Amino acid sequence: MKVSEIIDQLGLKVIAGEKGLDREISGAYVSDLLSDVMGNAREGQIWITLQVHQNVMAIASLKDLAAVILVKDLEANANTIQHSNEEQIPILSSSLSTFDIAGKLHALLADK
């Protein structure tokens, strides 16, 4: 499943990194601890987090993640958005809590 395919189904907004919407999703990882993501997330995963600073994109890029979903309508910092566009790794935004969006994404990926 591609990143573009989950946007409508999960009611996400594309904040940045539109050029990366064709990225293939291998799964997802949920964490707000950056070293946890650095150590344990895997290539192609969607990262669900409440962190909005630009180090999120540094990690997403280093780990070759498919996209980042920010929860609860949190707004990405300007330099986070810039980094997302440069790296072509999308930042998506959800109005839902981490638990709710993770549950929906899990169901969607398990269903495919």
Partner 1 sequence: MELDFSIEGGDFTQAGQASSRVKKVLKQLGVDAKCIKSIVIALYEAEVNVVAHAYKGQIHIQIDKDKIQTLITDEGPGIPDIAMAMTEGFSTASKKVREMGFGAGMGLPNIKKNTDELKIDSVVGQSTTVSMVNYF
Residues that bind partner 1 (CB under 8 A): 32-36, 38-39, 43, 49, 51, 53-55, 58-59, 61-63, 79
Nearer Cβ to partner 1 (63/94): 63
36 C-beta neighbours (distance < 10 Å), count:
12
Three-state SS sequence of the chain: CEHHHHHHHHCCEEEECHHHCCCECCEEEECCCHHHHHHHCCCCEEEEECCCCCHHHHHHHHCCCCEEEECCCCCCCHHHHHHHHHHCCCEEECCCCHHHHHHHHHHHHHHC
CB of 9 to partner 1, least distance (A): 28
- For residue 27, the cross-strand partners are 45
CB of 38 to partner 1, least distance (A): 6
Nearer Cβ to partner 1 (51/93): 51
CB of 88 to partner 1, least distance (A): 14
CB of 69 to partner 1, least distance (A): 15
Nearer Cβ to partner 1 (35/112): 35
Nearer Cβ to partner 1 (62/107): 62
